[in-house]
Chain A
Amino acid sequence: MSRVGTAGERHAALTRGRAPGTLTRRESRVAWVMLLPVLIVVLGAVGYPLLRTLYLSFTDARLMAFTQAPPWVGLSNYAQALQSPAFQAATGRTALFVVASVGLEVLLGVLAALLLNQRFYGRALARALLIVPLALPTVVNAIMWRWIYNPEYGALNALLTQWHLLPEYRSWLGDPGSAMTMLIVADVWKNFPLVAIVALSALQLMDRALYEAADIDGAGAWTRFWRITWPGILPVLSVAIVLRTIEAVKVFDLVFVMTRGGPADSTKTLSLLVFEQGFGFLRSGVGAAYAYLVVAISAVLIALYLTLLRRQAAP
């Protein structure tokens, strides 16, 4: 009777003589052949539009079915964008939105995860409820919050006046001083569960022995969190942070549904500007350049995040 090895042993046997995870040349060829259909689809559906947009960003293309090549303008669309006060202002607004919403989502998400990692009655239900905001389509979420903020009969006004925190009903989305904050609240409500779920999954994988050892050493709750929990969940959390940052930089539907960039441009973020140039003013070339600048900003932010997080995670 032959001995049935564990999965690990079998894997070790298969990859003997090679670094784990590397394929033989033959296996590698098979892998490429298997991947080919997907690669073609990805290159066609993602690669072509990306390159086409890049090309358009160097031209003076207009949004119409053009029959001849649009005039080449080199970097002038990019130069115009970087010098435009509207672009600079929108970059500032977007930065505020990203920092505030991602920051709050991480804070609330980690707190919720810590809570849901405790044993208490109804924990399963609470965990299930966490999915609800995440499951809502962004547009539905935006419409729902617009009702909540309604100046005549919105729930927020009712709540705050009944608690005597607000003397009378007011306009939240029509006031440049509060509109952006209200958008951030709507975004945080919808997206903190993503951070919470990711953090919770990381918490559940933590080694209990570390905490027991810390207890014996007399570490308090605060020390335990910063020395054990936070470094433990950070690698996983970083994925959620990067994802949320990308999403937040390109925020569009939430703003479009709730304020369309108003009042007086106070919520006009970069994506709205791209939309305005491309579809509003029919300037595909300028719109493409704006879009690529948004991508560049995201790329820089993500690279920065990943470097920072890696440095922190490395002991």
Chain B
Amino acid sequence: MSHPRPAARRFLPLSAALALALSGVQTAAAQTTLSALFMKQAAYSEADVRAMTAAFQKANPGIVVNLEFVPYEGLREKTVAAQASGGYDVVLFDVIWPAEYAKNGFLQDVTGRVNKADVPKIFPGAWTTVQLGNRYYGLPWILDTKYLFYNTAMLKKAGIGAPPRTMEELLAQARIIKQKGLARYPIVSSWSQAEALVADYTMYVSAFGGQFLDAAGQPAFNTGGGLRALEFMVQTVKEGLTNPNSREYLEEDVRRVFSGGQAAFALNWTYMYALTQDKKESKVVGQVGIVPAPGARGGAKVSAVNGSMGLGITAGSKNPDAAWKYISYLTSRPVQEQYAKLSLPIWKASYSSPAVTRGQEAVVKAAGASIGAMYPRPVVPQYQEVSTILQKALQRALLGQVSPEAALDDAARQVAALK
């Protein structure tokens, strides 16, 4: 294809739209066009998704998939805003949304389509991403949790033999690294006023054995492990162990700081590992360790947050059969094993496959312990409101505006008052 001349360039969108409309009219009978919405960051890269889709189209000549990529922060809004107009057939969704999506009828119930023989072959943590009660609203695709990444060179210089297994050890090691001047702020986290902060908090809640809601569905995060989790986070900021800029960081900022060799410890999703081993992206190639996030004395052995994502068919989709074919393909074992560098498969058997483990033995080993410990964020239809309340409360405590106890008590009151 030749490049358009500059003069013609401004007409390109119009002519492209026209061509698209015409081609849609001409080939409607022969061809099915799907629109799919993905995210730009973490897990599979845009290039990976494009490659998978190209392979799918080759294998299914009648189906064309139009891809759209948006930042995670825009994924839910895009899906929600498009559902009335039927804008997408396939959408990627986060583990925290199915309750809301199902309640409001955004996604098709695909319980009848799920192959029951596959159920035991896929991790239960992955299934919770797409399940509400005993109904299925899609297929799990990304199986993810936060891990503890550490700079092996810094730990060695500090005379530390093994990475921390508990939060208490993490604190002790971070103090040593700070004292020896190896890193000004040894820990970096994504604690911006965003979902990333709640994901981190969830991990700490799981470490300290807390819970979000009690058996009666009432807020319980302001007591016990939930409170200790926030107290721990605040303590690391007060001692100058966690980088204070964390309070404006998202995951990509954490990756940049850690990859720049400025931090000894970082909490982040699986995708960061491969990128820390890429010379173009990282100054710490060959010096990165990955282990399950620490547990806590008297709490859990390891901590983890369920950060999985699934693919579903929108309620307004006119091509559910083709859409199902597409998501079945993307979530299939061979495809997942081929692209396992940025996101680990949902299939249990994949973890012993050399195609998956080669070059990332440490990641797979950590995943072995973490996947079983993945802790869920509250499964409620008003999750967005709960999360918004929590984000503000956590930030207020992290910024030292109020005590952790006061912040969480206030948040618990607000959550309890939600209708």
A contacts, CB < 8 Å to B: 62-65, 151-152, 171, 173-176, 259-265, 276, 279-282
What B residues does A264 contact at CB under 8 A? 193, 392, 395-396, 399, 401
- B382 interface residue (CB < 8 Å to A): yes
Given contacts A171-B245, A174-B248, A262-B194, contact A65 B316 (CB under 8 A): yes
Shortest CB distance B384–A (Å): 5
B100 to chain A: closest residue by CB? A282
A263 to B391, CA, bound (A): 9
**B interface residues, how many (CB within 8 angstroms):** 35
7 closest residue pairs by CB, A with B: A262-B193, A174-B248, A264-B395, A151-B245, A174-B247, A65-B84, A171-B245
CB 8 Å contact bits of B385-403 with A (1 = contact, 0 = none): 1001001100110010100
CB 8 Å contact bits of B232-257 with A (1 = contact, 0 = none): 00000000000011111100000011
Which of A64, A262, A276 makes the CB contact (< 8 A) with B192? A262
- Check B80 against A260 for contact (C-beta < 8 Å): no
Give me 25 A-to-B residue pairs in the complex whose CB atoms sit less than 8 angstroms apart, sorted by A's number. A63-B80, A64-B83, A65-B84, A65-B316, A152-B260, A171-B247, A174-B248, A174-B249, A175-B247, A176-B399, A176-B401, A259-B248, A261-B193, A262-B192, A262-B391, A262-B395, A263-B192, A263-B193, A263-B247, A263-B248, A263-B399, A264-B392, A264-B399, A265-B395, A279-B77
A47 to B316, CA, bound (A): 27
- Check B73 against A260 for contact (C-beta < 8 Å): yes
A8 to B167, CA, bound (A): 85
CB 8 Å contact bits of B98-125 with A (1 = contact, 0 = none): 0010001110000000000000000000
- Check B193 against A282 for contact (C-beta < 8 Å): no
A67 to chain B: closest residue by CB? B105
What B residues does A152 contact at CB under 8 A? 245, 256-257, 260, 262
What B residues does A261 contact at CB under 8 A? 193
- Check A281 against B193 for contact (C-beta < 8 Å): no
A44 to B419, CA, bound (A): 36
Shortest CB distance A120–B (Å): 36
A136 to B246, CA, bound (A): 29
- Check B248 against A171 for contact (C-beta < 8 Å): yes
A283 to chain B: closest residue by CB? B385
B contacts, CB < 8 Å to A: 73, 77, 80-81, 83-84, 100, 104-106, 192-194, 244-249, 256-257, 260, 262, 315-316, 382, 384-385, 388, 391-392, 395-396, 399, 401
- Check A65 against B83 for contact (C-beta < 8 Å): yes
What B residues does A263 contact at CB under 8 A? 192-193, 247-248, 395, 399
Instruction: Give the one of A171, A173, A174, A280 with max B CB within 10 A.
Output: A174
A152 to B261, CA, bound (A): 12
- Check A260 against B193 for contact (C-beta < 8 Å): yes
A291 to B260, CA, bound (A): 44
- Check B399 against A173 for contact (C-beta < 8 Å): no
A281 to B194, CA, bound (A): 15
Which of A151, A175, A259, A279 makes the CB contact (< 8 A) with B80? A279
Shortest CB distance A146–B (Å): 9
A262 to chain B: closest residue by CB? B193
Shortest CB distance B116–A (Å): 30
What A residues does B84 contact at CB under 8 A? 63-65
Given contacts A64-B83, A173-B248, A174-B248, contact A282 B104 (CB under 8 A): yes
What A residues does B392 contact at CB under 8 A? 264-265
Shortest CB distance B255–A (Å): 12
- Check A282 against B80 for contact (C-beta < 8 Å): yes
A180 to B247, CA, bound (A): 15
A256 to chain B: closest residue by CB? B73
Shortest CB distance A31–B (Å): 31
B315 to chain A: closest residue by CB? A65
What B residues does A173 contact at CB under 8 A? 248
A263 to B396, CA, bound (A): 8
What A residues does B262 contact at CB under 8 A? 152
A282 to B399, CA, bound (A): 29
What A residues does B382 contact at CB under 8 A? 281
- Check B244 against A171 for contact (C-beta < 8 Å): yes
Shortest CB distance A312–B (Å): 42
Shortest CB distance B396–A (Å): 5
Instruction: Give the one of B257, B315, B384 with max A CB within 10 A.
Output: B384
What A residues does B192 contact at CB under 8 A? 174, 260, 262-263
What B residues does A259 contact at CB under 8 A? 193, 248
- Check B248 against A151 for contact (C-beta < 8 Å): yes
A177 to chain B: closest residue by CB? B399
- Check B385 against A174 for contact (C-beta < 8 Å): no
Instruction: Give the one of B194, B248, B257, B262 with max A CB within 10 A.
Output: B248
A62 to chain B: closest residue by CB? B104
Which of A63, A176, A281 makes the CB contact (< 8 A) with B385? A281
Shortest CB distance A72–B (Å): 18
- Check B401 against A279 for contact (C-beta < 8 Å): no
Shortest CB distance A83–B (Å): 14
Given contacts A64-B84, A64-B104, contact A280 B384 (CB under 8 A): yes
